[in-house]
A and B are shown apart, each in its own frame.
Chain A
């Protein structure tokens, strides 16, 4: 029995770019899949294929058990979409935007109006509800777009970078909304660049790069793949780095040589993979003290999804461009349009 979102061998090429290169997905009903990947990995393309906006070159896709390629109209009745770029009419007010979407979901005028009011409250837009969306800030538009995706509660939701550009309070609020949705049985596919968000919300994570799924599993499974815990020490003076290194090397997993200890000179930070937990940390502190190394900071660190991401894709999550859905994102969108020529 395939999940609420199911894809097999999805391929989509744009000219010579293989945006999707054989993607398989299977999201059980009522769970959240976090789709991670660097810029240009193919996340948005996957979402567009699954939401009937784009025809794949080959492969199969089912959403809510319906064949996306054969019955796109029925799929649309079962999904909500918040795309990467807010799709709101900027000359309409927030309220008018939501009412329009409600009407297009075949609600009657009264119901569409009531629903718009609820969502505007829920997304902290009540004060701006009757201003044209043109006057909204980036984050406000984003929230309006998310509200539009939630006008009905479809069984399957797609959110492409939903929290990009939201301030911490609104991000938190959206997380709550998402958790409520999922508690209510909604299946969600979420793409994000904020790995903390995937950690927090997603049951399963798929890491994609160059149109391929390069890793999948729960957040814990992925972290375990990347490696265990390590000790991180920041020493007080640069000249204390060599003695500290000697001490740490003794605790290093390999146990021999200095190779295992990595040093960042400018931050005076030393890192070594270890096994032994808090007890070991106490011993390290004692030994460092014995050799006269003053420490500014010390801690036991578990791998984060960031570490997983970087080790898997070989490069850091390029957040800067996407943050605030800023001009970078806009320019990229333009150049993509050009590329489409």
Chain B
């Protein structure tokens, strides 16, 4: 009868890392449950990269010159690293829309009134997006194998490439988190999360051989954080079209990819958590 008012003292906050981890996992679980209840979202997220694979490889297939070869098969192998990398960056839009939606529905108010770890709402969101990204990458890899993409450097290196991809996706979801906190509607977060990805992913080595670009564009492309991961994947997969450029990120793409991703996480996580704390719906 008095269940609602039985003295349930608030448990002592554990504080510190343990609480951050546990709070983040609670929020991540909540976001994953949501994803299973809105499967359309996950499915659309899968269809888009598959469409890219098919369109790019069959439309551009015969007309691209990759390392002296214009064979569609070579372009397809070249292309996959780009598509993988582009796909993981779409996590930006997911994280942004999810957080903007929570703000819009007042859920952020609920979270902010609880004695939670500071970054847990955002970390929980980005972790859930990481799971979705991983799922998308698996499906995409299967489709890629079907259209003729292969790995040539063994499974451990390929797994290393996938790890770099997921790290990049995770980093970009923090950019999305900041966007989600800064806009007013989930719709704005989705488009705001996507538009800037086009220049970032196209002024890169993802879809064309960047060494054939005009010099100033080539410099941007070679130092683009996104290009480093693409180059690293090509190296680790043993795919054609590894840029011979002597720009540092092109020479040390694995390190460059890791450094860029960690840097993005450090900067955008800090900004997003600060914004979260002052956010008002």
Contacts and interface: CB of A to CB of B under 8 A. Distances in A.
Contact of B10 (A77, A85, A86): A77
Interface stretch (B12-20, B151-159, B164-172): B12-20
A89 B30 contact: yes
Nearest to A134: B37
A242 interface: no
B116 A152 contact: no
Contacts of A122: 3-4
A111 B26 CA distance: 15
A55 B278 CA distance: 8
A106 B13 CA distance: 6
A14 B105 CA distance: 21
Given A103-B26, A106-B13, A106-B19, A148 B110 contact: yes
A340 to B, nearest CB: 8
Contacts of A181: 4-5
A52 B110 CA distance: 11
Contacts of A341: 184
Interface stretch (A113-121, A212-220, A262-270, A287-295): A113-121
Please indicate which of the listed interface residues B8, B12, B109, B111 has the most CB atoms of chain A within 10 Å of its own CB.
Answer: B8
Given A91-B34, A122-B3, A77 B111 contact: no
Interface in A44-81: 48, 51-55, 73, 76-79, 81
A132 interface: yes
A153 B5 contact: yes
Contact of B113 (A81, A85, A96, A115): A81
A327 interface: no
Interface residues on A, range: 35 or more
Contacts of A51: 113
Contact of B33 (A52, A96, A106, A115): A96
Nearest to A108: B11
Nearest to A87: B110
Contacts, number: 122
Contact of B30 (A52, A100, A180): A100
Contacts of A83: 106, 109-110
A247 to B, nearest CB: 53
A53 B4 contact: no
Given A51-B113, A52-B113, A153 B9 contact: yes
26 contacts: A51-B113, A53-B109, A54-B280, A76-B115, A79-B113, A83-B106, A85-B106, A87-B105, A87-B106, A87-B110, A89-B30, A89-B107, A90-B105, A91-B33, A91-B34, A92-B30, A92-B33, A96-B33, A103-B26, A107-B11, A147-B4, A150-B5, A153-B6, A153-B8, A153-B9, A177-B5
Interface of A: 48, 51-55, 73, 76-79, 81, 83, 85-92, 96, 100-101, 103-107, 115, 118-119, 121-123, 132, 147-148, 150-154, 177, 180-181, 184, 337, 340-341
